[in-house]
Amino acid sequence: MDYFLLPFRFERFENSEVLVNEVGDYIVCPIGTAEKIVGRHISETDGIYKDLISNYFISTTRIPRLIDNLATRYRTKKSFLDNFTSLHIFVMTIRCNQNCLYCQASSKENNQTTYDISYETLDYGIDLMFQSPSPYLTMEFQGGEPTLLYDKLKYAIEKSETINNLKNKHITYVICTNSVALTDDLLALCHNYNILISTSLDGPEFVHNKNRGKNDSYQKVITGIDRARSEIGKDRISALMTTSELSLDYPKEIVDSYIENGFSNIFLRALNPYGLVYKTNDWQNYYSRFVDFYKEALEYIIEKNKEGVYFEESFTVLILKKILTPFPIGFVDLQSPAGLINSVVVYNYDGFVYASDESRMLAEHNDFTFRLGSVKDKYTDLFYGRKVLEIANTWSNEVLAGCSDCAFQAYCGADPVRNYTTQNDMEGFRPTSAFCKKNKAIIQHIFSLIINRHDEVMPIFKNWIKQN
């Protein structure tokens, strides 16, 4: 049979083959189908022939006659690139009032002001932020604990507001805080500028406190969340969890604690190999346990939804949106070209600009590979400079060995910083990449839910997607 192949990839698991085309549309079919397609053994009378044609897997002409439509779909999926950098992270300090076991940011003691951002750095950073072509800006304050620097927070926000009177961008402010010491002044600031609070909650009291290395952290965080909710509105506070090795044993308890505390979602987030935790763990083992943890927690969440509780797992929603919809997502860790620089940039307390949050964490270990330059440098030199050119060679999974032919390429992302950190070069090596293994296992698990338990899970999944 005469037909032409369009780019598609496939993966075998659980007695089926999943074929995925260039824009992430998939077809589930019997094992051996990909081989038949490539060998031109599919005939017009095969049921799958029509599906392959209409979903852009094969074409009767060398260039499909609807290639412009396919291009539009591709452009749509990649439209997170349209506006360039939108997330601007300001690391205000790496001082902190907690002592988390897994701290990824190498926090310092509470009173060493040498680790604070200067007004000058803030000024330069804000100026660079406004040079971004994006009409949407998110200005995110991180640490350490950024609320320790109330005056500088206020200064940075007010300065941005003033400049924005001329620039007219849509700015969203986010403060990442552990919420243990939310002052009246800070909450008033949040109220005045509609600031979102992103906090950390690792689960039930014993897990959370153990992770924090404090006895009273959980109580303080919950009190902080409650206060923030009543002062600035329930929808203005979100929480992130980090899965410590201890957490791995308590998937249900962690989900329950989120539900009990009035959250409607959880982001099951694995540890990143940066900061304090770097080199202290057996990562392969950790990630394989994390996948089991994820599956168990997701199963429990699905049960909860079936009981009528609306509760979503945010990472799953991101993957689902990529698999099931024609729309893009704005999540920097699952992008290709990667989120770093294209979507996010970091102005660090040290006066330098970094390619991503993880990049500045590396710098704490005196590795400045992903330092783009000083905040005093010119915008074009920073964002279009040699360093960025170098990183750009490896920031697309389309061109990475092991990713370029992976069925899940359209659902995953590239991460040169992680490759560099864990595997010593930005290119990375997929067969031993724990990140690859983890993502593949999770995407595969989501696929098997969609395939094997379609009628049970799809209403829940679609409902999640619709809310996002």
Partner 1 sequence: MLNNTIKCLKNNLPEEVLIVYSADETLIGECFINNSDEQIEIQFGYEIDNLQSNSKYIQINKDVLDYVESGDILLVRPNGTVQIIFSKSSQDNVLFLTEQCNNHCLMCSQPPKRKDDVNYFYWLNSKLIDLLPLSLQKIGITGGEPTLLKERLVSLLSKIKNRLPEIEVQLLSNGRNFDDINYVHRISEIGLKKLLIGVPLHSDFYIDHDYIAQNNNAFNQTLKGLYNLARYNFNIELRVVINKINYYRLHKISEYIFKNLPFVYHVAFMGLEYTGLVPKNSKEIWIDPIDYKDELKKSVLNLASWGMNVSIFNLPLCLIDESLYTYTQKSISDWKIKYFEQCENCILKSICGGDFGTSLKYSPNIMPRLQVTCSS
Q: Which residues contribute to the site for partner 1 (CB under 8 A)?
A: 25, 50-51, 53-55, 65-66, 68-69, 72-73, 325-327, 458-459, 462-463, 466
Task: Tell me whether residue 124 or residue 464 sits nearer to partner 1 (CB atom).
Answer: 464
Task: Tell me whether residue 32 or residue 326 sits nearer to partner 1 (CB atom).
Answer: 326
Tell me the closest approach of the beta carbon of residue 187 to partner 1, in angstroms: 35
Contact status, residue 375 vs residue 129, Cβ threshold 8 Å: no
Tell me the closest approach of the beta carbon of residue 278 to partner 1, in angstroms: 41
Tell me the closest approach of the beta carbon of residue 465 to partner 1, in angstroms: 8
Select from 257, 417, 278 the least CA-distant residue to 345. 417
**d(C-alpha 141, C-alpha 237), whole Å:** 14
Task: Tell me whether residue 78 or residue 295 sits nearer to partner 1 (CB atom).
Answer: 78
Select from 293, 351, 325 the least CA-distant residue to 91. 351
Tell me the closest approach of the beta carbon of residue 44 to partner 1, in angstroms: 8
Tell me the closest approach of the beta carbon of residue 282 to partner 1, in angstroms: 42
**d(C-alpha 42, C-alpha 35), whole Å:** 10
Task: Tell me whether residue 306 or residue 378 sits nearer to partner 1 (CB atom).
Answer: 306
Contact status, residue 233 vs residue 190, Cβ threshold 8 Å: no
Please work out, in degrees rounded to the nearest 5, the angle formed at the alpha carbon of residue 455 by the alpha carbons of 409 and 326: 35
Contacts of residue 178, Cβ cutoff 8 Å, sequence gap at least 6:
96, 97, 98, 145, 199, 200, 212, 217, 221, 224
Where b means 16+ CB within 10 Å and e means fewer, 338-360 reads bbbbbbbbbbbbbebbbbbbbbb
Task: Tell me whether residue 66 or residue 181 sits nearer to partner 1 (CB atom).
Answer: 66
Task: Tell me whether residue 66 or residue 259 sits nearer to partner 1 (CB atom).
Answer: 66
The 3-class SS string of 45-79 reads CCHHHHHHHHCCCEECCCCCCCHHHHHHHHHHHCH
Tell me the closest approach of the beta carbon of residue 64 to partner 1, in angstroms: 9
Task: Tell me whether residue 61 or residue 230 sits nearer to partner 1 (CB atom).
Answer: 61
Tell me the closest approach of the beta carbon of residue 49 to partner 1, in angstroms: 9
